[in-house]
Amino acid sequence: MSSSTPDSGRYAARGVSASKGEVHAVVDKLDRGLFPLAFCKITEDFLTGNPELCNVTHSDGSGTKSLLAYLWWKETGDASAFRGIAQDSIVMNIDDLLCVGATGRILLSSTVNRNARNIPGEVLAHLIQGTEDFLQTLRDFGFDIRSGGGETADVGDLTKTLTVDSTATAVMRRDAVVDAAKIRPGLSIVGIASGGFCAYEQGENSGIGSNGLTSARHELLSKHYAEKYPETYDSNTPFDLVYCGGYRMQDPLPGSTLSVGRALMSPTRTYAPFVLRLLRELGVSRVPGLIHCSGGAMTKCKRFGTKVHFIKDNLFPAPPVFAAIAKASGTDAHEMHKVYNMGQRLEVYVEPKDVPAVLAIAGSLKLEARVIGRTEASAQPDGANHVTVVTAAGEVLEYR
């Protein structure tokens, strides 16, 4: 497939929108809070009424990545994969909060919706313990986050397997907010890798994160899973787009030490230890913006700042999992860079003079980092933000 729009073709046929244009069309008309162009909505402090404070809350989850853990467990009997799914759900919340400067005193609540016929107590135990273990890892690095409990709902009429979601809430000082409205021309963009093996992970990470897993799962895995586990896909999806790849979960991923299943299930890397040190050492005034490249991937930044041309011409080499997805699906580079993080899930926007400090902080945590690009004045007649990406193969991709 070759397409210049991510909501066309195979991606949309599976009932997924990468850009969520129809969602933004509604929510962008709502009250945007105290900092309208911040990465997350920030409100006045309703919890204590302190005018110097503000509240920020975020809800997200592991998405269809939970189905990969389900397949692994059904095929191998190993339910421990669900611990990583617990991490995915947490990270997709806290790493958004990081982008507004929330680096501690965060309260987390988790919700698991399950079909009790397919998801027994053994799975729930791994999800719950996985949550507690990951929260403790974060606290060990100085990131203060606590569990406020949650809910496990048996909703067999709504789901054939399970969903794993979380909500994270913080109270923070207004003068500590990182406001992405301050992203402007003349900044360096430092990318922080999503794959590899950093100081606070237990093993190699493929870099996949928790976006685009509906397509990744179906493009790489074989019809074996459609035939044996019909509960793991939407029956409204055309059958030729259901598990249409050539791999089993335990097959080796080309170019990687990981199996296909382990690569797809790699727990989403958090940048909490990094951002905590970054803001402590540089201070909020020296970090105009932080962008979590989740939904929208390399184009996520386009929603922030004013009259900015984002130029990304020195990206990391894409990890093997993305090459495998592109090859299996025939997805072109334009769509791949809008659906998948391509090996880099956090962007730090700073003055060029502050780049060495950012790289040093990343290096102290064994996080690969590099200057991936820069910001210039918008070249659009109306001054609208736009993004130029130059791939490793030299292909120039434009997003307006």
d(CA 221, CA 328): 10
Backbone φ and ψ of 361, nearest 5°: -65, -45
Domain count across the chain: 1
pLDDT in tens, 39-86: 999 999 998 899 999 999 999 999 999 999 999 999 999 999 999 999
Give the domain extent around 281.
Answer: 9-399
d(CA 90, CA 135): 9
pLDDT in tens, 250-287: 999 999 999 999 999 999 999 999 999 999 999 999 99
Q: Does some domain include residue 3?
A: no
Q: Does some domain include residue 104?
A: yes
Per-residue tokens: 183 = 């992203």
Considering only CA atoms, which of 169, 96, 107, 164 is closest in space to residue 130?
Answer: 164
Q: What is the dihedral of CA 392, 262, 95, 80, to 10 degrees?
A: 180
Q: Does some domain include residue 112?
A: yes
Q: Does some domain include residue 30?
A: yes
CATH number, domain at 324?
3.90.650.10
Q: What is the DSSP letter of 235?
A: T
Considering only CA atoms, which of 281, 284, 270, 287 is closest in space to residue 346?
Answer: 270
Encoded amino acid at 379, one letter: A
Q: Does some domain include residue 313?
A: yes
Q: Does some domain include residue 385?
A: yes
Q: Does some domain include residue 225?
A: yes
Q: Does some domain include residue 2?
A: no
3-class state of residue 247 by DSSP: strand
pLDDT in tens, 315-371: 999 999 999 999 999 999 999 999 999 999 999 999 999 999 999 999 999 999 999
